[in-house]
Structure 1
């Protein structure tokens, strides 16, 4: 009997509580709901490096053209290829030397014959000088002996000059590297008969590369030889170079000046590659925001400024330099303005937001008594 009474009491209590709850909800006015919970921030000072940006090409510091001086000789051997590293004096190619060596032997024989003739003429001239005072020889004969000596000496000099020329031709049949470096081009083909002056190889002297970039004339005054330069080739890692020289003239068409930057040895840089670079010329303190706070819309930069009523106002700003995840704000904001730094991409002008200074753990609400707990409570009350 007691259990029936307790059940009846519970039904009555629940019947009275539910209508009251619905009535309370009906009386509570519906407030505006926040679109998003956001993190806000403001302009913060930061030290940014002052850089001058430029574009240009990576080129060989100096490129040597290696050709043939021998005329009409056949190329018999090529010892190097493109990309090979060579040393000064290293043999690169060889021409057939049979004909030239034969001519050298002939010129040596001619020089030896001229040497013998000079010795005979010198002896005759010496006897003529000794007999000149005695009158045994006429003045004409003495003059002939002396002239023959001079002629023989001249012929010996000519024969020796021909011999030297032939030795040079023999040496020219062996093509050697004029300096240390890397072979950048090759046109030599075994079996080809080449004229004098034909290019066989091109050599990057010392394997040295440089970055040649165009810089606006207004920025040239801030650059000085010796400054560090960060050069980034397309598809490669950044390289730290050093400014070697500024061009003495400005291009009258582009109003740009050429700068030359020495580059260290690198596995990614190649002659002919395009590269971007930045010259570090100092540092300055600027006002910045996180990059996530600045949104690019319709070609302009905007931030979402939070007003006093927690509604966002789309505000146009002028961004400047960037460093890491910070961006300089030149104009458009005051120092005390609050700006959405997280979630700005999902907001529109006039949206209501719930502002937080950072991610926080939400407090867990107290658990309401369950139906079984209310039943136990009512039962205990009925027992009492």
Structure 2
């Protein structure tokens, strides 16, 4: 029998063809499109939060300077030599408390003279009045000329006016004598004495004798840009924001917080031509005297509030090359989608988004590294204990096992 006529050769050839066909089918199956379960395993797992509106205060930090609540210059109202000083420099004085004594000798003499003139005027007035009273019945009986009675009555009236004039002069002399004791016009801390004992004080002098400042409570004058204030007023008029609280907190130069809260009193009605700023004044309690006039501080307060803003973690805010801000959200098709937003400030640890988001949007805050528009994702709540990270290693291992 010839070799090619062996009956077992066609059977072996058929087995080889069958094996090759199975290998091709298997290879096609391995190299074909992955199943939906495999695609789901290869999708990147991301964590999201649900966007929700909240009332976000618009806080501003303004540089300010402390100003005494009341300031009064101690000035003499009469002239003379200073004989005594009754206060201790830097101490607390009360309104009406004597501070200086000016030599009262001349003023005491003026009081004595005015008193003597008044007594003389009263005596003259008594005589003139008595004469007029005697002439009246005589003039009625025509025992004396009516003109004599008229003159006597006029003299009596002049004498009464002289009494009033001398009484006023006596009051003036007594007031001047009282002014020789220079009192404190207000209660507060008095500074150093600007005049010594033996110095000549004058009612017309330009320099005060001392300065008194009341520092409890105390004012803080803050400077805000007029442009920022105008922008805020426009937002308030448009209804985009609401007026905020008037409570103010202070930060001192050393970075510490002042222990008391103040209140905004008013805002100036004019803009400074030199700085282009508007002055706002706040009032603070200062029972311990910690704040001294002239101290530089930083005032922080909620000037307004945005009632429908979104608070988004700062790591979720990304920026394009042109500076436009955007966030990645879970799209309606379950894929990552880019959403442009408007954010111009931060609040605590979050960015404040005022436009671009809708209530209920799922903002991706975890797994953002390398995430692009339209990428397949597996979103889970950011608060979920499930790990959020790239699953490529796990998916590759699973695919190897499946293969």
After superposition, residues 4-43 of structure 1 pair within 5 angstroms as none
Kept after mapping to 1: 8 A contact 2:311/2:350: no
Partner-residue secondary structure (3-state), 1:251: coil
Kept after mapping to 1: 8 A contact 2:243/2:305: no
Structure 2 residue aligned with 1:287: 312
Structure 2 residue aligned with 1:154: 161
Kept after mapping to 2: 8 A contact 1:54/1:213: yes
| Structure 1 pair 213–158 and aligned structure 2 pair: CA distance change class (3 A) | same
RMSD (Å), alpha carbons: 3.6
After superposition, residues 1-384 of structure 1 pair within 5 angstroms as 49-71=57-79, 73-184=80-191, 186-198=193-205, 199-205=208-214, 207-215=216-224, 216-218=228-230, 221=233, 227-235=246-254, 237-238=257-258, 239-251=260-272, 254-265=275-286, 266-280=288-302, 281-282=304-305, 285-289=310-314, 320-321=345-346, 323=348, 326=349, 328=351, 335-336=364-365, 338=367
| Structure 1 pair 161–130 and aligned structure 2 pair: CA distance change class (3 A) | same
| TM-aligned CA deviation for residue 110 of structure 1 | 1.3
Partners of 2:175 and 2:366 in 1: CA distance: 83
Partners of 1:110 and 1:226 in 2: CA distance: 66
Give the total of aligned pairs: 277
Kept after mapping to 1: 8 A contact 2:215/2:293: no
Kept after mapping to 2: 8 A contact 1:125/1:149: yes
| TM-aligned CA deviation for residue 81 of structure 1 | 4.1
| Structure 1 pair 154–250 and aligned structure 2 pair: CA distance change class (3 A) | same
| TM-aligned CA deviation for residue 207 of structure 1 | 3.5
| TM-aligned CA deviation for residue 49 of structure 1 | 4.4
| Structure 1 pair 173–219 and aligned structure 2 pair: CA distance change class (3 A) | farther
| TM-aligned CA deviation for residue 111 of structure 1 | 0.6
| Structure 1 pair 329–111 and aligned structure 2 pair: CA distance change class (3 A) | closer
Kept after mapping to 2: 8 A contact 1:44/1:287: no
Structure 1 residue aligned with 2:397: none
| TM-aligned CA deviation for residue 263 of structure 1 | 0.9
| TM-aligned CA deviation for residue 322 of structure 1 | 5.4
Q: TM-score when scaled to structure 2?
A: 0.59
Partners of 1:165 and 1:267 in 2: CA distance: 40
| TM-aligned CA deviation for residue 193 of structure 1 | 0.9
Partner-residue secondary structure (3-state), 2:364: coil
Write the deviation string for residues 123-175 of structure 1: whole angstroms up to 9, x where unpaired. 00111112102222223322331222122112212211111111001110111
| Structure 1 pair 184–138 and aligned structure 2 pair: CA distance change class (3 A) | same
Structure 1 residue aligned with 2:373: none
Kept after mapping to 2: 8 A contact 1:225/1:245: no
| Structure 1 pair 68–43 and aligned structure 2 pair: CA distance change class (3 A) | farther
| TM-aligned CA deviation for residue 250 of structure 1 | 3.0
| Structure 1 pair 100–329 and aligned structure 2 pair: CA distance change class (3 A) | closer
Partner-residue secondary structure (3-state), 1:105: helix
| TM-aligned CA deviation for residue 50 of structure 1 | 2.8
Partners of 1:339 and 1:84 in 2: CA distance: 64
| TM-aligned CA deviation for residue 201 of structure 1 | 2.4
Partner-residue secondary structure (3-state), 1:237: coil
Partners of 2:244 and 2:134 in 1: CA distance: 74
| TM-aligned CA deviation for residue 218 of structure 1 | 3.0
Partners of 1:175 and 1:251 in 2: CA distance: 38
